[in-house]
Structure 1
Amino acid sequence: MKKNMLLAALLGIAAMAVHAAEPKCQSQTLGSHTSKLCISQAPFQHDYYKLWVDGAPIFTLPDDYVEDIALAHKIPEDAAIEFPLPNQGMPVVKISGGCAPISEKKELGGKMVGIEVGRSCSFKWGNVEVMKELRVSFE
C-alpha cells in the first residue's frame, strides 16, 4: 500500500514537470532600450512574469502581483554600480506599470462568462517608457 502511494506521488510530480512549459518570451524595443517579458506557466499554479531591460533582469513576480507595480530606488550620492536608466537626474527613480488582464466573454456550460485571454503590459523606468502595450496572449 505504501509503495503504491509513493509511486502515485512520484508519477504525479513527474507529470507536473512534463507539463511545465518553457517560458514564453516577447521582446520590444522603444528608443534605445530593449525589454523582454517572459512568462512561466504550469498547470494549476500561478504564472510568473520576469521583466528584463537591456539584458538585465529587473523582477520576477507572480501573476497576482504584476497588475500594478511601483518599485523605487534612491540613487546613492557616492560612487555605486548603477543600471544606466536610473541616471535621469532625480534622487529617486521608479519603475512603474504593470500587466493588465484582458478578458473576453466566452460560452462555458451554456453561460457567457469572462475568461482571461491575455495581458497588456506597459512599464516606465523613471521618465523612460521601456515597454508599451505589449500584448501577451494565453490562447
Structure 2
Amino acid sequence: MTRRSMTGRRAMRACLGTCLSAALLGMAGASLAAPLCQTQTQGSHTSKLCIEQTPFKHDYYTLWVDDAPVFMLPDDYVENISLTHTVPEDDSNEFPLSRQGMHSVTITGGCRPLVESQGNGNDAVSVETGRVCSFVWGQQALVKDMRFRFE
C-alpha cells in the first residue's frame, strides 16, 4: 500500500476550500446579527424602530407604528426624511394616523448621526458612535429623541 503525501498544490486547494467555507459562514453569521430595536409610546400610538447592521454594508432602519411596518430606509437616506401621502376621499384602507382631517399627511424627521472625535491632535478622527431619531406623522409625534449607541 502506497501512501501519498499532499503536494503543495493539493494542500493549498484543501485549505482554500476550508478557509473559504469558514469565511462565508462567518460573513453569514455577521449579517444575521440581531437588529437593534427600541420602542416608544407617544399618546396612544406605539412605535418600534430597528436598525439592521451588516459589517461593511449599509445599515437599514425600519419603523413600525402600532405593529404595522411604515418604512425601511438605508442609513444614507434616513437622516432627514419627508414622506407625503395624499389621503383619498373614499373609504379606503388608511393608516389611522393618516386620518388627521387633512387632504395630505406627511411623515417627517430622521435619525441624525452622533459623532465623536477619537484620538489626539493630528491623529484625531471623527467616528459615528450612534444615532438620535425623531419622527412625526402629521401632527402626532411618533418617536422623540430615541438614542442608539453603536459598539
Q: Give TM-score scaled by structure 1 length.
A: 0.90
**Distance of 2:133 and 2:38 partners within structure 1:** 11
Match of 2:106 in 1: 94
Structure having the higher helix fraction is: 2
Structure 1 vs Structure 2 CA RMSD: 1.9
Match of 1:57 in 2: 69
**Distance of 2:140 and 2:18 partners within structure 1:** 53
Aligned residue pairs: how many? 139
Equivalent position to 2:52, from 16, 25, 40: 40
Equivalent position to 2:93, from 51, 73, 81: 81
Identical counterparts, % of pairs: 52
- Asked if residue 11 in structure 1 is aligned to residue 53 in structure 2, the reply is no
**Distance of 1:23 and 1:129 partners within structure 2:** 23
The AA in structure 2 aligned to 1:12 is: A
Match of 1:25 in 2: 37
**Distance of 1:63 and 1:2 partners within structure 2:** 39
Following TM superposition, by how much is the alpha carbon of 1:13 offset from its aligned partner in structure 2, in angstroms? Answer: 2.3
The AA in structure 1 aligned to 2:101 is: G
- 4+ runs deviating over 3 angstroms: 1-11
Structure having the higher strand fraction is: 1
Q: Give TM-score scaled by structure 2 length.
A: 0.84
- The gaps in structure 1 that reach 5 residues or longer are none
Q: Specify the SS of the correspondent of 1:22.
A: coil
Match of 2:115 in 1: 103
